[in-house]
Amino acid sequence: MNFLKVIFFVFIKDIKDELRRKENILSSLFFQLLSLVLIHFAVDMTSIDLSKEGAGLMWLIIIFAGTIFMQNIFRKEEENGVFLALLLAPVDRAAIYLAKFFVSFIFLTILEVFLFFLSFFFFGAAVFDSPLQLLILAIGVNVGFSALGTLISSLLINQKGSSILYPLLLYPLLFPLFAAAAALTQSTLKSSLAFSDPWLRLIILFDIIFLAVSSMLFESAVEE
Amino acid sequence: MKEEILVECSHIEKFYGKKQALKGVDLKLFANKITFLMGENGAGKSTLCKILALLSKESNGKILYKRREIKGNLRDEYKKVLGYLSHQTFIYNHLTALENLNFFANLYGITNKKEKIEQVMSSFGLTEYKNQIAGTFSRGLQQRLSLARTLLNDPTVLLLDEPFAGLDPSALYNLAQILSELKTRERTILVVTHEIDDTVEIADNFIILKQGRKVFEDTFYSKENLKNTYFEFFGGVKQ
């Protein structure tokens, strides 16, 4: 079976399933909205600056909202033991992983676009001053976040206490990615994004390592 | 006439940490025969079934398909002819019956997909439910959809892990009938169960596992004979 076709079939099926069950998407979006509303009331609107503390707040919301979605990315496969049926199919298991990765990636990107608009609406955040650079940065972060989040979610399929274990395993590993993202957001909004920037290089390296390693590890991670 | 061995596992051992779930089990599945694998809970039946389905990796030993060890390209070839059914239905709750079958048909690369799906749906009386969400189905209907999904790729080797668990008497009877019919259509079937009920009448061979070891293997004669043998190993009232 063609590798790309498998990715496509699993991806389409997952999107359809997610849109029907809605719970993952809605809970992430509502969390995001609620966080912004709370910040809006708790902090002086005029003092929030995306090129300063606002960058950290924005990525913090993305981490938590993304976690809500990604820790349930294999939930539909846990129901009725469907995951075993996927593993039984004569397909490359890395294709199943990559399809899930793309679903997470697309969702995170939508989540961020939604967040940027809301940040602009609530705080007048300067997200549209350098939209392309912010989008490139968001894509860079999403690749690493989705790669790692999807792999850890697969490791915890049918495990008791997975909702506790998931953030415990994920957050320490994500630290360099989001530290780089926050630092880079601040500099991106002040000056242009340059490849020579060590934070950007860190994000690219993180993406390459975790996407490649996760694709290879998935097969053995789901063996039992 | 010499019986053809389609799937064979030799000296399978399985460790979970220090605990040994399987202790050097040998098993042969003969072409077009139904073999019942029996034993108490924790005997290692499901572990062995999962190893045969390549869902779990054996710690030691090997699995052969048509006398060749399953590795490399043969792994995919074996998976293409393999069907696996358990008490879990393996169907997506939020997809319709048709979408479920369509998805798995795509994964198996079935060429005449439309005809094949229509055929299995009609065989299992699912045509009128094809556009309904599978999660809303009754247990019996879900089991029928699950069987349809399992038979979609026309598997020649069927591994059934506790397929009768949780079924009402009529669904149980129907499933036994379907299995009986499958045998006539040249399928090699392994049924894992710990219950001796009327369904055992369809067996050709039976194997008993006890604490990870194969303790008995013979041709099926009668239910009473099987019960007596079973109780010799696990205790109980002889018939």
The series of mean pLDDT values per 10 residues for chain A, 224 residues long, is 91 95 91 88 68 77 93 89 92 94 95 86 75 87 95 89 91 93 80 78 94 90 75
Tell me the pLDDT tens digit for each residue of B24-51.
999 999 988 889 998 888 889 999 999 9
Instruction: For an interface test with B, give the residue of A72, A83, A88, A158 to mutate (most B CBs within 10 A).
Output: A88
DSSP sequence for B16-60: ETTEEEEEEEEEEEETT-EEEEE--TTSSHHHHHHHHTTSS--SE
For residues B160 and B191, the answer to whether their CB atoms sit within 8 Å is yes
Question: To the nearest whole angstrom, how far is the Cα of B238 from the nearest Cα of chain A?
Answer: 37
What is the ipTM, given to two decimal places?
0.87
pLDDT in tens, B165-201: 767 777 777 777 777 777 777 789 999 988 777 677 7
* Residue spans per domain, chain B: 1-81+156-168+181-239, 88-155
CATH of B1-81+156-168+181-239, one of 3.30.70.580, 1.10.3720.10, 3.40.50.300, 3.40.50.1100: 3.40.50.300
- In B, which residues are within 8 Å of A16 by CB distance? 95, 99
Tell me whether A44 touches chain B (CB under 8 Å): no
Is residue B59 within 8 A of residue B227, CB to CB? The reply is: no
Confidence (pLDDT) at A53: 66
> Quick one: closest CA in B to A220, which residue?
B57
| pLDDT of res. A40 | 80
Residue count of chain A, please give it. 224
pLDDT at B228: 78
What local confidence, expressed as pLDDT, does residue A224 receive?
64
Look up residue A52 and give its DSSP letter.
T
What does the pLDDT read at residue A45? 62
Q: Which pLDDT does position B12 carry in this prediction?
A: 94
Beta bridge partners of B219: B205
Of A76, A79, A85, the CB nearest to B104: A85
A79 vs B80, B93, B104: nearest CB: B93
Of B57, B89, B108, the CB nearest to A90: B108
Q: How many domains does chain A have?
A: 1
Q: Please judge whether B103 and A5 are an interchain contact, meaning their C-beta atoms are less than 8 angstroms apart.
A: no
Spans of chain B below 70 pLDDT:
1-2, 166, 198, 236-239
- Residue B193: predicted pLDDT: 85
CB contacts of B56 in chain A (<8 Å) are: 223-224
Q: Which of B79, B115, B106, B114 is nearest to A12 (CA)?
A: B106
Q: Which two tokens stand for residue A176?
A: 């360099």
Signed CA dihedral, A18, A24, A29, A30: sign only? positive
How many C-beta neighbours within 10 Å does residue B60 have?
A: 11
On whether the CB atoms of residues B124 and B77 are closer than 8 A, the answer is: no
